[in-house]
Amino acid sequence: MTNIASSSGTFDIGGDLPVVRLGYGTMQLPGEGVWGPAKDHDAALAVLRRTVELGITFFDTADSYGPETAEQLLKDALHPYADEVVIATKSGLTRQGPGVWTQLGYPPYLRQQCELSLRRLGVETIDLYQLHRIDTAYPLEDQVGEFKALQDEGKIRHIGLSEVSVEQIKAAREIAEITTVQNLYNLANRSAEDVLDYCEAEAIGFIPWFPLATGQLSKEDGPLAQAAVDHGATPSQLALAWLLRRSPVVLPIPGTSSLAHLESNTAAAGIELTDEEFDALSALG
């Protein structure tokens, strides 16, 4: 099973940065609560190296995963990066312990975190830099404006947002070009449907985090169980195939620290749903 991810097709971030649509999210690589080092450092490196062999080119991470752990693992595993590898990272959340996340959109802090991510990742320019959350304690124009300044300096290629409304995207686009949006979205939770529709209309990449609802959609007695049997696939594969079929701008980033789960998830790229199957899955969700 080599280069199977490419079956999911490609999307050009910002119109000029091609990625294979089925990507990989690094949030599950640090310890419990997304805190501390990986439970098995060598195993984490093996998973990351296998992603490339499977044809995955798009990697989503953040300075707060660990913190710092996931970015460093990417560098340890994949640096020097292949030409086709695209790394997206984020800033805007601080960490005080396992499972604890606090917003901080203070512009000098965002700049500092960009500089540190550049160093940890071992790159001169971050392919896609995302504001992890808009912090209401600071004006939106100051937070996105700092990203725009970093972009003008050549430290960021493209700018993305995370957990935003359509109105917030429109406001941010008055300040800088926004090329991706990352919101909670999966077959079971479609609260961001209007955001996805807007992104599709504007050719903005939509990165659904929590694409498998962390197991809810993959349970043997879950809503996709019988459909998976009928299709000769796993529930997780169907959930990912549904996302890929939902819109050409969708870039799912399932994450795992398991080689077996990685290979199973990536096989979803080869599943083509008919209109009837897509509608049936939509109704199940």
Rounded Cα distance, 278 and 276, in Å: 5
Whether the Cβ atoms of residue 176 and residue 145 lie closer than 8 Å to each other? yes
Contacts of 143 (CB under 8 A, 6+ apart): 92, 105, 107, 110, 131, 134, 135
Plot region of 87 (φ>0 → left; ψ -120 to 50 → alpha; else → beta):
beta
* Segments in the chain forming alpha helices (H): 41-53, 69-78, 107-121, 140-152, 166-173, 193-202, 225-231, 235-246, 259-266, 275-284
Length of the chain: 285
Q: DSSP assignment, residue 138? A: S
Q: Give the integer Cα–Cα distance in Å for 134 and 112.
A: 17
Instruction: Name the active-site residue from 65, 129, 185, 198.
Output: 65
Q: Which two tokens stand for residue 60?
A: 């989503």
Beta bridge partners of 178: 159
Active site (annotated) includes residue 138 = no
Would you name the residues annotated as active-site residues? 65
